Chain A
Amino acid sequence: MTDKDMLFDYLLRLGDNSLILGQRLAEWCGHAPMLEEDLALTNIGLDLLGQARMFLSYAGEVEGNGRDEDRLAYFRDTKDWRNLLLLEQPNGDFAMTMARQFFFDSFQYLQFEALSNSTDERLAGIAAKSLKETTYHRRHSTDWIIRLGDGTDESHERMQRAIEALWGYLPEMFDMDAVDEAMVVDGIGADVAALRPEWDEYVNGVLTEATLTRPEDSWSVRGSREGKHSEHLGYILAEMQFLPRAYPDAKW
């Protein structure tokens, strides 16, 4: 891989994370537990979509093959997607959606904090803007973890089940492969492995306040950095990409 290829791949990871999670949140539209949450989920989804567009546009420019944000979003198949496995997992109930959001927000907060110091000015700029949004996202999902964990028996049970169902997807966030290493060496990327202690501290604090039990590290799955995904991604793409794939000559 050339430096350019690596930066391209790195930007895809960032863009795909935001896009796939935003797409999942869009599925909630009109179905949230209360109107205020319908607004919050679309608001967060909109932020994520905005981030995705900035990362993917930049990725396309770095690649230099004329692919813009839409070409990248609508004309790649599963093996070329780089989003974390966590983010393509189905919405499940509101506890599952919030647990997924919380684990990712608390990771993304630290990652954007690191990336806002990137030597790549454009990346640093996107990260700084996104960090402001993610600060709000993290507060929102943290509040729900605490409310649901320390709410009723039912909500506690649902939340505990949700964090256990997702726990094995979390180690992947902190993996470092050759691309990550190279980006760190160049001062462009974030050392995500190094974010783990601070992430643990924050998450442990919230789980404790929510009276939830931190699950054992008994299982973990990974593969997104090489384009190996769960079966869910194919369906997300089938839905998302339908129109541009069905009518490739059309402009929308």
Chain B
Amino acid sequence: MGVVDREFEKLEAAFQAKVEAEQRIEPKDWMPEKYRQTLIRQMSQHAHSEVVGMLPEGNWLTRAPSLKRKAILMAKIQDEGGHGLYLYSATETLGISRDQMFDQLHSGKAKYSSIFNYPTLNWADIGAIGWLVDGAAITNQIALCRCSYGPYARAMIRICKEESFHQRQGYEIMMTMAQGTEEQRDMAQDALNRWWWPTLMMFGPNDSNSAHSAQSMQWKIKRQSNDELRQKFVDATVPQAEFLNLRIPDDQLKWNEDRGHYDFGEIDWEEFRNVVKGNGLCNRERLQARVDAHEGGRWVREAALAHARKQEARKAAAAA
């Protein structure tokens, strides 16, 4: 074994010891290249999800049924853009630029949460997204608040606070719809029918099939397994659905006294893979919308840069 290899092993051991000791890894600390790459993949995917997630909700912004709902939705979407910005910055600490991350998104190399490839078809979908999708996101993100990478953990703490407001407003929309006219109830049930299973898919493959899980657990990027988090979400959400008097579309859903958890049916993993592969109703539109915004905005960004350079040159000329 060469000197370089021994040196590397020492660094890696020290890194893992630090992780075990629950100390945060900071941008300037040494880290294994794979740790860095894993975080870039996960954090940029998270940032992209926030930004792409603005689209299905933005779809109802101009049609929100009251001015108050419109204001709340607008504030929520703005929060999400802010989360995106915050997460892109946190990811940049790992040595990748926002432009590079955009390129990866637009070329299809980087992913975003598949949930946003589903369409928002009625107003209750806005409620369902807040209640279920944000609810699932919080379940994941609370676990990430203790992630070993400092900037990501800190971003999560801040984001979780806003997400819990989002979830409440979503549930409140569902409650209003569920207690409203027959047509509103139908919309609420229809939204729950369409969003329930895709939300459960947000937690990722079963633990036995999860490609990245074991290593991420060892590095404490991930603190709880996909199935544990999914169970936690189901346990928390079923009573909320009962309170709304809405039916979760799963015939096998049942409280299991022995386990102290709800049993639930098998996820249609074929659908999951299919949507990830690009065959969801909105995959092409969502990505195209982002590409169009970026390409269509190129002249604006170039102008801002050109103007800033002119200003600099003028300042320099004045100083000379």
Contact = CB atoms under 8 A, between A and B. Distances in A.
Nearest to A95: B300
Contacts of A74: 65-66
Most chain A CB within 10 A, of B69, B81, B85, B297, is at: B81
Contact of B303 (A27, A39, A46, A152): A152
A240 interface: yes
B78 interface: yes
A42 B57 CA distance: 13
Contacts of B300: 33-34, 37, 94, 148, 155
Interface size class of B (residues with CB under 8 A): 35 or more
Given A26-B74, A49-B71, A249 B303 contact: no
A46 B75 contact: yes
Contact of B304 (A43, A147, A154): A147
B292 interface: yes
Interface string B278-315: 00000000000100110011111111101100100000
Interface in A200-252: 239-240, 242-244, 247, 249-252
A246 B173 CA distance: 18
Given A33-B293, A46-B75, A158 B299 contact: yes
Given A147-B304, A243-B123, A251-B176, A30 B293 contact: yes
B257 to A, nearest CB: 39
Interface in A55-113: 56, 69-70, 73-74, 93-94
A155 B176 contact: no
A45 B74 contact: yes
Given A35-B88, A49-B67, A252-B123, A151 B61 contact: no
A164 interface: no
A23 interface: yes
B63 A152 contact: no
B84 interface: yes
A58 to B, nearest CB: 13
A27 B306 contact: no
A32 B293 contact: yes
A69 B301 contact: no
Interface residues of A, number: 49
B54 A49 contact: no
A247 B61 contact: no
Interface stretch (B131-139, B178-186, B247-255): B178-186
A11 B42 CA distance: 50
Interface in A5-42: 19, 23, 26-27, 29-39, 42
Interface string B49-91: 0010011001001111111111100110110011011001000
Contacts of A158: 299
A39 B81 contact: yes
A146 interface: yes
Contacts of B181: 247, 249-250
B66 to A, nearest CB: 5
A50 interface: yes
Contacts of B310: 150
Interface of A: 19, 23, 26-27, 29-39, 42-43, 45-46, 49-50, 52-53, 56, 69-70, 73-74, 93-94, 146-148, 150-152, 154-155, 158, 239-240, 242-244, 247, 249-252
